[in-house]
């Protein structure tokens, strides 16, 4: 695909995760076009339960508190090699970059950035989920998401990115008489999470190409054709039929 600057210069904002959707095998250009015109969100989007935000915040605090007390990150991260020190992540208003050829503002904040003594960075993102077939299916989206974070980090001067990875914090939900006393307490119950590390390939060179594809799609004057058998397209068609009644 040509990397020549395109004609349209209308400002456009997209998150790292939204950019990653372009790489999914079931990517639908029609649904993506509609989302772009809805501010990046589909109509009637279901809100994310607050418990996930709480777990995300706690996971970050565990990493930082462990480093403050022991001088190293938790041992479940050892599979990524020597990570160094967790560093503060800039606010989302500063952790962003504008791509001049497309006039797209790329945004999104990673969960963890670690810096070694030589200044190189390792970027990690936490997932509160079990590593399964569905997570493997959407791995291309997360690969681009993390590479987009790396792309931003290098361009705002944080350092050279040397590695990327996903950390799946998998809830351990097996309960029986053998472990009930370690789970049930007088004021409630506890749940344990085990870490599954998934290294992600560095591929920041793909980010400009994907940004140009997003710009090309967003600039289409009419909605493009949808993917065959797209469930979201079917729901959108139903919505249009209801409105037209």
| pLDDT tens digits, 177-206 | 988 888 898 898 888 899 999 999 999 999
Tokens of 6: 């395109």
146: three-class secondary structure by DSSP: helix
Containing 64, the helix (H) or strand (E) segment is helix 50-70
| Half-sphere exposure at residue 118, Cβ-oriented, CA atoms within 13 angstroms | 7
What local confidence, expressed as pLDDT, does residue 245 receive? 79
The full length of the chain comes to 245
User: What pLDDT score does 207 carry?
Assistant: 98
Q: Choose among 211, 220, 216: nearest CA to 104.
A: 211
| 25 CB-side CA count, 13 A | 5
Over residues 133-155, mean pLDDT: 97
Q: What is the pLDDT of residue 8?
A: 47
Using an 8 Å Cβ cutoff, are 105 and 14 in contact?
A: yes
Per-residue pLDDT reduced to its tens digit, 81-138: 999 999 999 999 999 999 999 999 999 999 999 999 999 999 999 999 999 999 999 9
pLDDT tens across 162-180, in order?
A: 999 999 999 988 888 988 8
Cβ pair 84, 117 in contact under 8 A = yes
Query: What is the tens place of the pLDDT at every residue in 13-38?
Result: 999 999 999 999 999 999 999 888 88
Q: What pLDDT, on a 0 to 100 scale, did the predictor assign at position 182?
A: 84
Helix 206-218 / helix 139-155 crossing angle, nearest 10 deg: 110
Confidence of residue 54 (pLDDT cuts 50, 70, 90): confident
Q: Distance (Å, rounded) from C-alpha 175 to C-alpha 179?
A: 6
Q: Is the pLDDT of residue 7 over 60?
A: no
Helices (H) and strands (E) counted in the chain, each on its own, are: 8, 10
> Confidence class of residue 155 from pLDDT cuts 50, 70 and 90?
very high
Q: Of the ranges 44-53, 135-144, 219-228, which is most confident?
A: 135-144
pLDDT at position 2 over 50:
no
CATH topology of domain 12-244: Lambda Exonuclease; Chain A (3.90.320)
């Amino acid at each position: 695909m040509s990397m020549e600057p395109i004609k349209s210069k209308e400002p456009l904002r997209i998150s790292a995760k939204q950019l990653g959707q372009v790489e999914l095998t079931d990517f639908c250009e029609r649904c993506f076009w509609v989302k772009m015109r809805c501010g990046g969100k589909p109509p009637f989007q279901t809100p994310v339960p607050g418990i996930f935000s709480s777990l995300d915040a706690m996971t970050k605090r565990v990493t930082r508190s462990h480093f403050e007390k022991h001088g190293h990150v938790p041992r479940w991260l050892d599979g990524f090699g020597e990570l160094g020190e967790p560093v503060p992540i800039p606010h989302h208003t500063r952790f962003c970059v504008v791509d001049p050829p497309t006039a797209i503002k790329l945004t999104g904040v990673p969960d963890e950035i670690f810096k070694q003594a030589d200044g190189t960075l390792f970027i990690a993102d936490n997932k509160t989920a079990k590593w399964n077939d569905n997570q493997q299916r959407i791995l291309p989206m997360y690969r681009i998401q993390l590479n987009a974070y790396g792309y931003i980090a290098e361009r705002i001067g944080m350092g050279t990115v040397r590695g990327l990875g996903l950390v799946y914090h998998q809830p351990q939900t097996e309960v029986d008489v053998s472990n009930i006393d370690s789970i049930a307490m007088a004021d409630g119950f506890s749940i344990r999470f085990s870490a599954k590390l998934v290294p992600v390939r560095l591929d920041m060179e793909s980010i400009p190409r994907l940004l140009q594809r997003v710009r090309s799609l967003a600039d289409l004057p009419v909605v493009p054709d949808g993917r065959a058998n797209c469930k979201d397209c079917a729901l959108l068609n139903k919505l249009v039929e209801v409105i037209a009644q």
